[in-house]
């Protein structure tokens, strides 16, 4: 009888606390992965997306023609050159570049909409695109550079893919040193000795970034409710 008497006010107190609890909403952020070709960036991006359902891949707009099997607003936003130029003029891109005669850019609106919903957005871009992102939204960007263990291993991986000609491999290797030289602009650097181990590091970085005080919207109000 006494136990029932004591339990009643405790239950009421817990219910009242739950009712008055201030919600905390986490704002999303942009995760940038960069690396020289062959260092494992694309594979790690795929593995990340499979492991982390709170992460989505950014979708770029492009002026190149749609390839068989590609879907608009899924693989890319396919736009005309005139439309792309208008978007550049209107400042609608977080980053953009020209590659082999075609223009590519990341529209700002869908990315920021995802961030407000607490969804993090993954970017597979080079150091130049990273600099553009940092200039536009530094506080919402986490940058990670993937290094190969050695240049010899990088070349071995490129040749092991059996996708490129000898000329292309040499071109990629020549470009790799220039790309690696910009490692210092990144927040985190991972030497990719092993894909599974590198994935663990990436997941740890993302988890830690999600706990940052500045990403917890409503945290100050929640703490205030705790201490009265």
**Predicted pLDDT at 196:** 97
Judge residue 23's burial from the number of C-beta atoms within 10 Å of its C-beta, 0-12 exposed, 13-18 middle, 19 or more buried. exposed
Domains detected in the chain = 25-215 (3.40.50.300)
The residue to which tokens 């490692």 are assigned: 183
β-strand pairing of 216-217 with 30-34:
unpaired
The residue to which tokens 């040499």 are assigned: 170
**Which pTM does this prediction carry?**
0.84
**Predicted pLDDT at 19:** 58
Going by C-beta distance under 8 Å and a sequence separation of 6 or more, which residues neighbour residue 107?
59, 60, 61, 77, 87, 92, 93, 94
For 108-143, the pLDDT digits (tens) are: 999 999 999 999 999 999 999 999 999 999 999 999
Within 10 angstroms of residue 199's Cβ, the number of other Cβ atoms is 20
Kindly tell me if the per-residue pLDDT of 70 is higher than 80.
yes
CA-closest candidate to residue 64, choices 107, 102, 106: 102
């Amino acid at each position: 009888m006494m136990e029932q008497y004591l339990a009643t006010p405790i239950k009421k107190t817990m219910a009242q606390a739950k009712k008055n609890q201030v919600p905390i909403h986490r704002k999303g952020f942009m995760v940038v992965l960069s690396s020289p070709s062959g260092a494992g960036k694309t594979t790690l991006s795929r593995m990340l997306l499979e492991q982390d359902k709170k992460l989505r891949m950014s979708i770029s707009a492009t002026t190149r023609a749609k390839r068989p099997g590609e879907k608009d607003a899924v693989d890319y936003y396919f736009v005309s050159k005139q439309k792309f130029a208008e978007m550049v003029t209107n400042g609608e891109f977080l980053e953009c570049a020209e590659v082999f005669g075609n223009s590519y850019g990341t529209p700002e609106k869908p990315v920021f909409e995802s961030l407000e919903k607490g969804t993090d957005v993954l970017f597979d871009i080079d150091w130049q695109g990273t600099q553009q992102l940092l200039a536009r939204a530094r506080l919402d960007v986490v940058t990670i550079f993937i290094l190969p263990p050695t240049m010899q291993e990088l070349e071995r991986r490129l040749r092991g893919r059996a996708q490129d000609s000898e000329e292309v491999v040499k071109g990629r290797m020549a470009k790799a040193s220039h790309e690696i030289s910009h490692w210092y602009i990144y927040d985190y650097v991972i030497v990719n000795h092993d894909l599974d181990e590198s994935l663990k590091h990436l997941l740890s970085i993302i988890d830690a970034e999600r706990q940052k005080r500045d990403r917890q919207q409503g945290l100050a109000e929640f703490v205030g409710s705790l201490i009265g």
